[in-house]
Amino acid sequence: MSSETIVTAILLIAAVVAAGILTSVILPAIFTMSGTVSSSAHAADQSMRTSITIVNTYANTSNYAQVWVKNVGTTQIPLANLNQTDIWVNYERLSLNQPTEGWTYDIPGNTNPYWDPMETLHITMESSQIPTNPGGEVQFQIALYDGTTSSVEFTVSPGS
């Protein structure tokens, strides 16, 4: 009878230790997984709120092009984040605020340090990658700081 009591006590202690070990392994994994799911949901939410559309393009025969991009999302994009934007013309990345082989931007009528929803970003580019012959093709892509992209292909207009 006493041997049964000792065996039962040992099994009870083993069950409590096993439950403790199981809890110490499973709970951190659950907390880690919930943090990952939460950050992924936040990133997806931000991506869905940030949306842009290219509304107009123009290129002339002197390596010069303009593109107008509208913020059609619901997110205000800080102008400081536009410095992290990538502009690609015919597979060449252009640098911001460069006199040649670069791009600049303006937001007509903007009165705050944000690219607000429904405002249009006017991008001006100069690059040797922009063809100088009328009808030459220009492939343009913009990638915002958060990975939102938009692209268009257009042709060079005759004239200067």
How many residues can be counted in the chain? 160
Rounded to an integer, the average pLDDT of 30-39 is 71
Separation CA 142–CA 140 (nearest Å): 7
CATH number at residue 135: 2.60.40
Are 148 and 74 in the same domain? Answer: yes
CA-wise closest residue to 144 among 101, 105, 99, 112: 105
Task: Give residue 8's Cα distance to chain centre.
Answer: 60
Q: Which amino acid is at 67?
A: V
Are 31 and 75 in the same domain? Answer: no
Does 1 have pLDDT greater than 70?
no
Predicted confidence band of residue 37 (pLDDT cuts 50, 70, 90): low
Does 19 have pLDDT greater than 90?
no
Selected residue with higher pLDDT from 72 and 2: 72
Does 121 have pLDDT greater than 70?
yes
> Per the domain annotation, does 75 fall within a domain?
yes
Q: What is the pLDDT of residue 147?
A: 87
Rounded to an integer, the average pLDDT of 57-72 is 93
